[in-house]
Chain A
Amino acid sequence: MSFTAPAFRIPRRNAFIFGGTDPTTGRDWPPLQAMWVKMWDPPTASPATPELLNPTNPVPELMAAAGFQNTPTIPHTVQRDLLHNTVIPMWDGKPVMFFTFRDTDNPATINGNYPAATIRMPRGVVYHGRTQGHGPPPHTIHWHGIEPTPINDGVGHCSMELGAYTYQWQPNFTGTYFCHCHRNTVQHFEFGLFGLLIIDPPDAYFATENDPSIPIGAGEDGARRVACNLPRIAPFSQFPEFEGGDPVIGVANGDPHAFTVAYDVEAFWVLDDVDSVWRDVAMDAKSFYPKAGNIPGVNDTFYHGFFHDFNPDYWFVTGVPVPAPKGGTAPIAANVVIPPALNSGVSGTQVSINARIGDTILIRCLCAAYNCVSITFPVDVVIIAFDGRALGVPPFGLYNAAFVVKKGIPFHLSTARRFDALIRSTKPINSFAKVEFINTRGQVPGFPEDVVMTAQIPIVIS
């Protein structure tokens, strides 16, 4: 037995009919070329949206009224095109290529942004996202954590690539999501083609429509809210302005604030790593992408490439650079505020945290890195949601509950996972959260974790 004289050969499973039988099993091959081809060479198409509804998303009109974007080209519709090339200088001056979205109704996105402008809307609206593929197409937009029909899910091999299409879905769960291109995802997502997607409570944005003095994103009572279920015992009871709801049917009683808590400060922590060598060498948006031949399964072109081998050399928190080389430790800049034009008209969202004693602080954290992250907080935090689903909110949350991560105890997250966390302190804090980026090739049991970068996110409460 050896490499040169193995005992067996295990044949590849077949993707097509040979006009014969498999000699190893004696069974006929069924024709599966169509499925095989579509899996890695999805067709480009521009279908009409099936089961079409009228969109009801108030946000584009609100943003236009506030001067944050132009009048929507199509009413109640977000225009988001992809992709565009944007060169961003790193903390050490190196220019690195990013792939970006451009929201064609929104001048603030004209040069592309990393991460993309955050799309927000109230729960329950009919959302339309009009999307065209450019530079070079095709592309898709997948709305991660949103669960519509396949054609609206934005995965090429289960539907199509664009082309042009109006994505249609209705967000049913208040929470934190993101969106990204699902074409050659290994490259496009890595190169920055993603942005946050936030579903706010159902009265948000409509409240401002009815009363323009209410800040965009706040509810009828002027407060910004996030979904959660906080038991009436310490430490969960420390957050004022929590509103519960029906213990079995949850938010079904029609109260837009059921199972939400008001927050004073919101922070986006989008943790990301960048491999600038990939960006330097593989700038073509179709790098290593296979090509179907006219005899699929036989004369297709498969390439040799290096996308199996990811080695980050730059790190970011919500587009803010971590100014240290690999293996280093550095804080990110303080006092970064996300402009409302890049946050669906919502003002004041932070990255590094600067808050007052007694503020309820909401952290929305996404691991957009290909590596894992381990976050250690300087205070106790309450985890209230994962992946757009608030813990403990009936009925689907009857089997789970919000919980505390104590200060100093690391909390791990891997690619695409999100959590929402609440902080409230009655004492001053001048510290930081430690975010360690851990190599996915460096988590072997019995060996120390391979930490490739340590970022510090300042948290100041005074």
Chain B
Amino acid sequence: MLISRRQLLKSGLGATATLVVGSAIPAILENPAFAAVPVQTLNFRFTDAIKEMVTHEAGNNEATCYFWCLKEDHLAFPDVPGPNIFATYGERIQIILTNDLDEPHAFFIPGIFNSGPIAPGKTVVRSFVAIRTGTFLYYDNLNAPVNRVMGLHGAFIVMPRRPIGLNRMTPYLVPTPAVQRLFNDLGRASWWPGLTWEQGATNPPHDDGTPAADTSPFRQWIWVLHQASPKLFAEVGSLAPGQLMSPAAFMNKFLRDPFVATSNDLRVVGTTTEFNYKPQFFTLGGQSGHFSHNDPAMCPNAYVGEPSLVRVLNAGLFTHSCHIHANHVYVLCVNNQIRTNLWWVDTFTAHPMDTWDWLVPYMRPPDIPNVRGIGRADEPMTTLAGGKTYPPIEEMNTFIPPLGTQAKDPSGNPVGLEMRMSPLCFPMHDHSEPTQVAQGGNYNCGLVSGIVFLGDRNRPGGPVTFPGMFPG
């Protein structure tokens, strides 16, 4: 089951809709994971959709949810969240907004732009300047929080134009000294061998000779977190034109609807197969489970030595506790307040409407046995078989399920289920675990991403690409 990563990205699994406004940001435009579209003007319609949510894919599925969503003119489809929007600090951005729905809507970026209410059927033309750098949620702030939670939201990212003096670039116009020191040390200090954040690189081929993709500069991933209640959103979508659901009524159902022992699982003594109004789907970038974890556009995929940024935005009403495996990460900035004390954590809290930035060092997972055992990428220990603990060649040559494990594809043809233990794959998930389910169960179809180590830039003989799940 060797698939090329290019195929994966082309398939729609692996292309998160992204727009780059105004002056080109080459790092984003050339990064295939973003499949970014350069635009001069943002042209959004407030519209609606039924979205198919995560589930098995048999014909008779009820795993759908009604959403309000933003359709941008350059993209074939709307989605929830709306597209990631990148701009450069100081850019003037033109925006056209058309309301195809039955009630007023608005487009709001805190501290940057507020369209004000746009009546049904109306189009407005505005412009604004990206006067701040960082990670922002754009959303419809009317009838708060109803419109935003119904799906009208997305990520708005503003990159600085240049670094300060001879320093390395950071994500901010005016970083704190701690942030500047970190970004200056990445790729330069002896404990951070590899690339700076702003450097890209070419990579050696996989062991079977297939080429490996280049490493992009300014590596970053964007996680827009959300929760969806098909029952509640359908009610909002069934209101008469112009009729609004009150925020109090919406939140009471979404957050406080009484518990119901829903079950169609014979192992569990439930009282009904119906659901209550609480959300039953939990998404990262609008996807759940496999569709966000195994998507290199939403899941960090990089080499040891390639520090990467993760921007997290919580568009919903639940608090999430995001835990990343394999590396601890630095918290750089929370709600656009750049930190002076960069806590190095494995878990961090995303309250509703929080935005924050993590720097993932992409150091070698430090608890792989090594000579000094003090968290440095030391000489690996020698195994009983005479090999080395790192790179973990024996592990990477293991297949679980083993080679030859098969099932059928929908046409009845055999399909292999074997999975190689390479590259090194780890999860990121919400540790407040009720969000790890879909429709109240089906663990691991919830709010997840991951962290994948594709290789190691810092091997004594030069960069090494690990055997690929997706060579090429």
Which residues from chain A sit less than 8 Å from chain B, CB to CB?
Answer: 1-4, 6-19, 22, 24-25, 27-40, 43, 45, 47, 50-54, 123-126, 144-151, 153, 155, 157-160, 168-173, 184-187, 189-190, 202, 249-252, 277, 281-282, 284, 286-290, 292-311, 367, 370-372, 386-389, 391, 395-401, 403, 412-417, 440-445
What chain A residues lie within 8 Å of B79 (beta carbons)? 10
Task: Compute how far the CA of A429 lies from the CA of B279 in the bound complex, rounded to whole angstroms.
Answer: 45
Q: Is the CB of B12 within 8 A of A297?
A: no
B101 interface contact, C-beta 8 A: yes
Residue of B nearest to A288 (CB): B441
B424 interface contact, C-beta 8 A: yes
B53 interface contact, C-beta 8 A: yes
Q: Is the CB of B102 within 8 A of A126?
A: no
Q: Is the CB of B426 within 8 A of A150?
A: yes
A157's partner among B267, B366, B444 (CB-CB below 8 A) is B444
Would you list 10 pairs from A and B whose C-beta atoms are within 8 A, ordered by A residue?
A: A123-B374, A173-B366, A252-B372, A288-B440, A289-B443, A290-B56, A294-B407, A309-B276, A387-B346, A442-B255
Task: Compute how far the CA of A295 lies from the CA of B417 in the bound complex, rounded to whole angstroms.
Answer: 11
Q: What total count of A-B pairs have CB within 8 Å?
A: 482
> Per-residue 0/1 for B68-87: is the Cβ within 8 Å of any A Cβ (1 yes, 0 no)?
01010000111110000000
Q: Is the CB of A170 within 8 A of B178?
A: no
B294's partner among A35, A45, A277, A309 (CB-CB below 8 A) is A35
A39's partner among B290, B347, B366 (CB-CB below 8 A) is B290
Task: Compute how far the CA of A304 lies from the CA of B182 in the bound complex, rounded to whole angstroms.
Answer: 47
Q: Is the CB of A290 within 8 A of B321?
A: no
Q: Is the CB of A389 within 8 A of B48?
A: no
Task: Compute how far the CA of A278 lies from the CA of B57 in the bound complex, rounded to whole angstroms.
Answer: 28
Task: Compute how far the CA of A144 lies from the CA of B345 in the bound complex, rounded to whole angstroms.
Answer: 12
B349's partner among A25, A296, A391, A414 (CB-CB below 8 A) is A414
Q: Is the CB of B387 within 8 A of A51?
A: yes
Q: Is the CB of B49 within 8 A of A415?
A: no
What chain B residues lie within 8 Å of A9 (beta carbons)? 49-52
Residue of B nearest to A297 (CB): B57
B135 interface contact, C-beta 8 A: no
Find the residue from B251, B264, B389 having the highest chain A CB count within 10 A. B389
B109 interface contact, C-beta 8 A: no
B214 interface contact, C-beta 8 A: no
> A3-B234, A444-B255 in contact; A308/B424 too (CB < 8 A)?
no
What chain A residues lie within 8 Å of B373 (beta carbons)? 123-125, 170-172, 202
CB distance from A107 to the nearest CB of B (A): 30
Q: Which B245-273 residues have a C-beta within 8 angstroms of A?
A: 251, 255-256, 259-265, 267-270, 273
> A13-B13, A159-B421, A309-B434 in contact; A36/B439 too (CB < 8 A)?
no
Q: How many chain B residues touch A (Cβ–Cβ < 8 Å)?
A: 159
Task: Compute how far the CA of A442 lies from the CA of B398 in the bound complex, rounded to whole angstroms.
Answer: 45
Residue of B nearest to A143 (CB): B367
B49's partner among A10, A160, A277, A370 (CB-CB below 8 A) is A10
CB distance from A240 to the nearest CB of B (A): 25
**3 tightest Cβ-Cβ pairs between the two chains A and B:** A288-B441, A3-B237, A305-B441
Q: Is the CB of B394 within 8 A of A50?
A: yes
Task: Compute how far the CA of A372 lies from the CA of B431 in the bound complex, rounded to whole angstroms.
Answer: 11
Task: Compute how far the CA of A53 lies from the CA of B381 in the bound complex, rounded to whole angstroms.
Answer: 8
What chain B residues lie within 8 Å of A310 (beta carbons)? 434
B58 interface contact, C-beta 8 A: yes
Q: Is the CB of A36 within 8 A of B353?
A: no
Q: Is the CB of B3 within 8 A of A303?
A: no
> A27-B10, A50-B394, A417-B347 in contact; A160/B238 too (CB < 8 A)?
no
Q: Is the CB of B57 within 8 A of A304?
A: no
Q: Is the CB of A299 within 8 A of B264?
A: no
B323 interface contact, C-beta 8 A: yes
Q: Is the CB of B434 within 8 A of A308?
A: yes
Residue of B nearest to A190 (CB): B433
> A31-B1, A43-B400 in contact; A302/B442 too (CB < 8 A)?
yes
Task: Compute how far the CA of A300 lies from the CA of B290 in the bound complex, rounded to whole angstroms.
Answer: 15
Known contacts A18-B410, A415-B321, then 8 further A-B pairs from the complex at CB < 8 Å, ordered by chain A residue: A52-B383, A53-B381, A172-B374, A187-B443, A297-B57, A302-B56, A305-B442, A417-B348
What chain A residues lie within 8 Å of B264 (beta carbons)? 303-304
Q: Is the CB of A281 within 8 A of B261?
A: yes
> Per-residue 0/1 for B332-363: is the Cβ within 8 Å of any A Cβ (1 yes, 0 no)?
00000000011111111101110000000100
CB distance from B307 to the nearest CB of A (A): 12
Q: Is the CB of B12 within 8 A of A146?
A: no
Task: Compute how far the CA of A189 lies from the CA of B251 in the bound complex, rounded to whole angstroms.
Answer: 28
Q: Is the CB of B374 within 8 A of A157?
A: no
Q: Is the CB of B66 within 8 A of A6?
A: yes
User: Which label, helix, strand, loop or mixed, suits the secondary structure of the A interface?
Assistant: loop
Residue of B nearest to A277 (CB): B259
Task: Compute how far the CA of A299 lies from the CA of B57 in the bound complex, rounded to whole angstroms.
Answer: 7
What chain A residues lie within 8 Å of B317 (beta carbons)? 441, 444
CB distance from B388 to the nearest CB of A (A): 8
> Per-residue 0/1 for B411-450: is the Cβ within 8 Å of any A Cβ (1 yes, 0 no)?
1100111110100111100111111111111111100001
B431's partner among A32, A173, A307, A416 (CB-CB below 8 A) is A416
Residue of B nearest to A286 (CB): B267
Task: Compute how far the CA of A54 lies from the CA of B405 in the bound complex, rounded to whole angstroms.
Answer: 32
CB distance from B341 to the nearest CB of A (A): 5
CB distance from B224 to the nearest CB of A (A): 15
Task: Compute how far the CA of A38 lies from the CA of B58 in the bound complex, rounded to whole angstroms.
Answer: 18
Residue of A nearest to B443 (CB): A184
Find the residue from A184, A187, A288 having the highest chain B CB count within 10 A. A288
Q: Is the CB of A417 within 8 A of B321?
A: yes
What chain A residues lie within 8 Å of B233 (beta carbons)? 3
What chain B residues lie within 8 Å of A302 (beta carbons)? 55-56, 63, 438-439, 441-442, 445
A7's partner among B12, B47, B145 (CB-CB below 8 A) is B47
Q: Is the CB of B102 within 8 A of A412?
A: no
B401 interface contact, C-beta 8 A: yes
Task: Compute how far the CA of A160 lies from the CA of B261 in the bound complex, rounded to whole angstroms.
Answer: 31
Q: Is the CB of B365 within 8 A of A416?
A: no
Q: Is the CB of B290 within 8 A of A15?
A: yes
Q: Is the CB of B181 within 8 A of A150?
A: no
Task: Compute how far the CA of A184 lies from the CA of B450 in the bound complex, rounded to whole angstroms.
Answer: 18
> A8-B48, A170-B367, A416-B347 in contact; A308/B8 too (CB < 8 A)?
no
B344's partner among A14, A158, A386 (CB-CB below 8 A) is A386
B167 interface contact, C-beta 8 A: no
> A297-B57, A297-B410, A396-B375 in contact; A146/B395 too (CB < 8 A)?
no
Residue of A nearest to B435 (CB): A308
A304's partner among B51, B344, B392, B440 (CB-CB below 8 A) is B440
CB distance from B302 to the nearest CB of A (A): 16
Q: Is the CB of A308 within 8 A of B279?
A: yes
> A8-B77, A170-B370 in contact; A144/B255 too (CB < 8 A)?
no
Q: Is the CB of B441 within 8 A of A287?
A: yes
Task: Compute how far the CA of A277 lies from the CA of B408 in the bound complex, rounded to whole angstroms.
Answer: 39
Task: Compute how far the CA of A126 lies from the CA of B319 in the bound complex, rounded to whole angstroms.
Answer: 37
B325 interface contact, C-beta 8 A: yes
B417's partner among A33, A144, A150 (CB-CB below 8 A) is A33
B127 interface contact, C-beta 8 A: no
B161 interface contact, C-beta 8 A: no
CB distance from B451 to the nearest CB of A (A): 10
B409's partner among A31, A147, A150, A388 (CB-CB below 8 A) is A31
> A13-B13, A186-B437, A289-B441 in contact; A53/B50 too (CB < 8 A)?
no
> Per-residue 0/1 for B167-209: is the Cβ within 8 Å of any A Cβ (1 yes, 0 no)?
0000000000011011001000111000000000000000000
What chain A residues lie within 8 Å of B376 (beta carbons)? 252
Residue of A nearest to B326 (CB): A147
Q: Is the CB of B47 within 8 A of A288?
A: no
What chain B residues lie within 8 Å of A440 (beta carbons)? 318-321, 432
Q: Which B1-37 residues have a C-beta within 8 angstroms of A?
A: 1, 3, 7-8, 10-13
